[in-house]
Amino acid sequence: MKPDISSRRWLVVVGAILIQLALGALYAWSVFTKLLTDPEGIYRFSATQTAWIFSAGLATFALVMVLAGRWQARTGPRLMSVLGGLLLGLGFVLGGLFGSTFWTQFLFIGVVGGAGIGLAYVVPIAVGVKWFPDRKGMITGLAVAGFGFGATIWVKLAGSWFGGLLNTTTLFGLPGVQSVFFIYGIVFAALVLLGSIVMVDPPEGYRPAAWGPGAAPAGAAAAARNSDGGFTPAEMLRTPQFYAIWLVFASSAIAGLMVIYCIQLFGIDALEFRGVPDAIVVTGTAMAWYAIFNGLGRILWGMISDRIGRKAAIVAMSAFQGLIMLAMYHGFISFGLALGLIVGASIIGFNYGGIFALFPAITADYFGDRQVGRNYGWVFTAYGVAGLLGPLLAGVFKDSAAAGTPIAWMTPFIIAGAACLGGAAVMLFTNPPARRLERQSLAGP
């Protein structure tokens, strides 16, 4: 009789959260944009330049993740996450030491740091789905929740906690932004290395002890059809369902990434234009609540999808996000209410966080568990495209408008909202692919 090893899987959850806390580094980018774009500061970047650094990190993250899904099958999950953590830490340390110009920050923070995130990100998802085939939505939500919660920690540490590292730190004589980069690089590497200790796949053929026939929740119905083989990446790329899921992912991610990039710039413009005091403090609070609800959305949307099914959850999440984005300018901001910015940011963060639980889970449901690390890498390229379009959508409109004029922000919010509603419509008509035919043995029947 084989021993029950199901209790081990909760250690995987702990390790996944530690890793994702560090990988949430990119989501803290907004806390640096005010100093980087200060026309009287030491950097004097344009809004478009800071958007390019952020977008480079997102795009590199997504592209490297495709390769990481393939490499993980050869190296194993633990080594892949270790390499990712070291590369992420190295990017931020070098960004701290040499990041005095746009191009050095673009290279070290955007490209090197983004590559480290791409290597490590897929590991907790792929390992978690194998340990929790009975609760894919819940485990993917928990596995990536740290990504959202981590951003809260890094934003607050840099901006306000203990006086704010940006305001109090001059490590090695470096200015505040670069000092924080250096410190964060060391911390990020340490967290990923610690979490990597438990990143190990379960034994071949593992099933949770309590998971019997009929026990799978609604969201796992498609997985039952594909669990014994599923689709290889090449087979998946030949299905229309892959392209539908990719498009819906991209449309949802554009909205969330645009807000992550611009929430501080947008909030300050809108609130100061209407004479709201302490606009910088309010936007910092909005950023923190965005990150908190981002993490909660990953967990709760994942759990909801286990109940109602992945497709229904994605349709609901995308439609809700579209309506909120359309209402963001007039509904939450036009009256100059600080609370409106915080509430709007929280709801957008909640829905945006959901995509990181729902899309890896639907990838496993529609195309099988065994290849989810490789298959989700391809689905995740949608995030890379959104990482270019979302922040740049905001940056371009900001640079083309008169200084301090909040009306410039209305158009990108409308575009992003319409994209989300379109994504909901596409998902509504997307059904699981027919299970692929089993390959016949070359040796005959």
Task: Please give the structure tokens belonging to residue 327.
Answer: 């209402």
Exposure b/e, 281-295, CB count within 10 A at least 16 = b:
ebbbbbbbbbbbbbb
**Residue 152 near residue 26, CB atoms below 8 Å:** no
Task: Please give the structure tokens belonging to residue 361.
Answer: 């889970």
Number of Cβ atoms within 10 Å of the Cβ of 196: 24
Rg (CA), the chain: 21
| pLDDT at residue 190, as a whole number | 95
Is pLDDT above 80 for 325?
yes
Distance CA 130, CA 132 (A): 6
Task: Please give the structure tokens belonging to residue 354.
Answer: 């959901």
Diameter of the chain measured on Cα atoms: 79
Number of Cβ atoms within 10 Å of the Cβ of 73: 13
| pLDDT at residue 402, as a whole number | 53
Quick one: fold of 13-428?
A: Growth Hormone; Chain: A; (1.20.1250)
pLDDT tens digits for 12-67?
888 988 998 898 887 778 788 888 888 888 888 887 888 888 888 888 887 888 88
Q: What is the mean pLDDT of residues 221-234?
A: 59
Task: Please give the structure tokens belonging to residue 2.
Answer: 């084989």
Distance CA 185, CA 189 (A): 6
Distance CA 302, CA 405 (A): 38
Task: Please give the structure tokens belonging to residue 370.
Answer: 């065994």
Task: Please give the structure tokens belonging to residue 412.
Answer: 């990108």
pLDDT tens digits for 229-270?
578 888 899 999 999 999 999 999 988 888 777 776 777 777
DSSP string, 102-142: HHHHIIIIIIIIHHHHHHHHHHHHHHHHHH-TT-HHHHHHH
| pLDDT at residue 331, as a whole number | 65
Residue 436 half-sphere exposure, CB side, CA atoms within 13 Å?
20
pLDDT tens digits for 351-407?
998 988 899 889 888 888 777 778 888 898 898 788 778 777 777 666 655 555 666
Domain ranges of the chain: 13-428
